Amino acid sequence: MKILAIESSCDETAAAVVENGRRIISSVVASQVEEHKLYGGVVPEIASRRHCESIVGVVDEAMLNAGCGYDDIEAIAVTYAPGLIGALLVGVNYAKGLSLATKLPVVPVHHLRSHIASNYLCHQQLEPPFLCLVVSGGHSHIVMVEDYTKMKIIGRTHDDAAGEAFDKAARAMGMPYPGGIHLDKIAQQGDENAFALPRPSVQGAPYDFSFSGLKTAVINLIHNASQKGEQLPVNDLSASFRRAVVDCLTDNVFKAAADLNVKTIAMAGGVSANSLLRSEMQYECDKRGIRLYMPDKCLCGDNAAMVGSQGYYEYISGNTADLSLNAYATMSIEKG
């Protein structure tokens, strides 16, 4: 069964054709990042406009690359929440228009659920239940994936998401948007013990995260140094910051894994491309005899193939929408 999938929740316009939730037949991603770089972050109005301009070409290219006509497609999956509302609406309305023209059903897909599903494309043997660390630019969750369409939030951030903290710290160090990937690279050449940074935790919520204090600690160090006319070594500061974020993430995941007696863990979202997070998670899982699954780096960021994967499982569980489908800027992964 082939599904056409569409993603437009942030600054990537993407379309893909995916078979049975597990095989990518085609995947096209048009990134707007170069334009948003000029402003140091995503400008929602610009994102919506670029999605409008790109979506027809991106979907046509995904269909062409897959060698498919609409007769070969069984359903149209689309990201409908959470994300930038104007951006989401472009994908949702395009999917509804296609549905009207082709009579194919629309399958609404939650963005974070689709990030989790990127693992199904890379690991054919992976099946729920498993615990997943979902770390993107907008969210940081520890999720128990009880079944393909049944999720329970075990831990969440109380303020910044991990990706957001990476981007803000990187920006304070003068790196271009999105800073997480640059910070990760520069950190390879730094000493992670050079700066003593906090590992904030949330009292009474052992699996929850709080990154804003850590981010502020870095920004304060930079401001204090610049007031004295000094410049801090960016490689050491990056390495110390990356280590602190990774410690917070891994500590809570393994606390949850031990308490819930979990033997399979997955990672998902843009930050799961972080090289230290990947190596630490692997090291800690090996030590504990836990199986670890991570998406290939090329599927960690936003793409439509993961929407096609989750869309398949939503579709076979009967989750389709009619033309009254709306987009939502916020929505819990549990409701999805």
Of the candidate spans 38-46, 100-108, 129-137, 214-222, the one that interacts with Zn ion by CB under 5 A turns out to be 129-137
Residue 312's binding partner among Zn ion, ligand KG4, none (Cβ under 5 to 8 angstroms by kind) is: none
Alpha-carbon torsion 52, 53, 58, 63, what sign? positive
With contact defined as beta carbons under 8 Å apart, do 162 and 140 qualify? yes
Subset of residues 87 to 146 that bind ligand KG4, contact rule: CB under 6 A: 115, 136-138
Nearer of residues 102 and 332 to Zn ion, judged by Cβ = 332
Among ligand KG4, Zn ion, none, the one that 128 touches (CB under a kind-dependent 5 to 8 A) is none
Half-sphere exposure of 332 (CA within 13 A, CB side): 11
* Window 272 to 311, contacts with Zn ion (CB under 5 A): 302
Instruction: Report how far apart the first and last C-alpha atoms of the chain are (Å, whole number).
Output: 22
Say whether residue 7 binds Zn ion (CB under 5 A). Answer: no
Choosing from 28, 266, 271, 290, the residue that interacts with ligand KG4 (CB under 6 A) is 271
21 binds, among Zn ion, ligand KG4, none (CB under 5 to 8 A by kind): none
Tokens 């997955």 identify what position?
266
Cis status, amide bond into 82, omega within 30 of 0: yes
Sheet containing strand 106-110, edge to edge, reads: 23-31, 12-19, 2-7, 75-81, 106-110
- Residue 9 tokens, joined: 């929740």
Query: Restricting to residues 149-188, which ones interact with ligand KG4 according to CB under 6 A?
Result: 163, 166-167, 178-181, 184
User: How far apart (Å, rounded) are the C-alpha atoms in residues 285 and 169?
Assistant: 28
Number of residues interacting with ligand KG4: please give it, by CB under 6 A: 20
Spatial separation of the C-alpha atoms in residues 249 and 253, rounded to whole Å: 6
Measured CA to CA, the distance from residue 99 to residue 285 in angstroms comes to 44
Q: What six digits make up the tokens of 295?
A: 């998406």
Cβ 111 to Zn ion shortest distance, Å: 6
> Nearest distance from residue 302's CB to Zn ion, in Å?
4
Binding site partner of 274, from ligand KG4, Zn ion, none, Cβ cut-off 5-8 A by kind: ligand KG4
User: Residues 136, 140, 210, 272: which binds Zn ion (CB under 5 A)?
Assistant: 136
- The entry of ligand KG4, Zn ion, none near residue 82 (CB within 5 to 8 angstroms by kind) is none
Site for ligand KG4, rule CB under 6 A:
10, 115, 136-138, 163, 166-167, 178-181, 184, 269-271, 273-274, 301-302
